[in-house]
Amino acid sequence: MDPGLDAAFRRSRYLVWLTPATWFRFTVDQPPPAGLAHAIAGAPWAHVTACNPQSRPTSDAANLAAQQALYAALRALPATRDIHPAIGLGPEGWHEPSLFVVGPETAELDRLMRRFGQLAYLHGRGEWPVKLRWL
């Protein structure tokens, strides 16, 4: 694990859009906001992306195609209960389109994130603190 990359993930802010005009913000090692925890209802969840594999900048077209493929792959998982638009926002202006998925366990997500070339993702369960999971 790259310590600089780990620090960047931890300094970033992550948002999920659950309903029109309702965004929830969360950070690593903190519990999710009450409204988000209520919507999750104790289920496992993750904040994932297929953009910029291996944390290397990739073209918008390639990122869009990867995100669409990730969405389809998440939809195909029997455990998937919900998928919501999300975004990761870094302190230095970095931003990355993401998806907030409710239902799949980390074993399924680990396989999927490796398939999409990701180094890490965020996950949790219900009101548990948000965890950064390195692959």
Q: 10 Å Cβ neighbour count for 82?
A: 14
Read off the pLDDT of residues 25-37 as tens digits, 9 standing for 90 and up: 889 999 999 888 8
Kindly list the distances between the CA atom of residue 133 and the CA atoms of 48, 68, 94, in Å, as whole numbers in the listed order.
Answer: 11, 22, 20
Kindly list the distances between the CA atom of residue 98 and the CA atoms of 3, 58, 113, in Å, as whole numbers in the listed order.
Answer: 22, 15, 12
Q: What is the span of the domain harbouring residue 88?
A: 3-134
Read off the pLDDT of residues 46-69 as tens digits, 9 standing for 90 and up: 999 999 999 999 999 999 999 999
Structural domains in the chain (count): 1
Read off the pLDDT of residues 81-128 as tens digits, 9 standing for 90 and up: 999 999 998 888 888 999 999 999 999 999 999 999 999 999 999 889
Helix (H) or strand (E) run with residue 104 in it: none
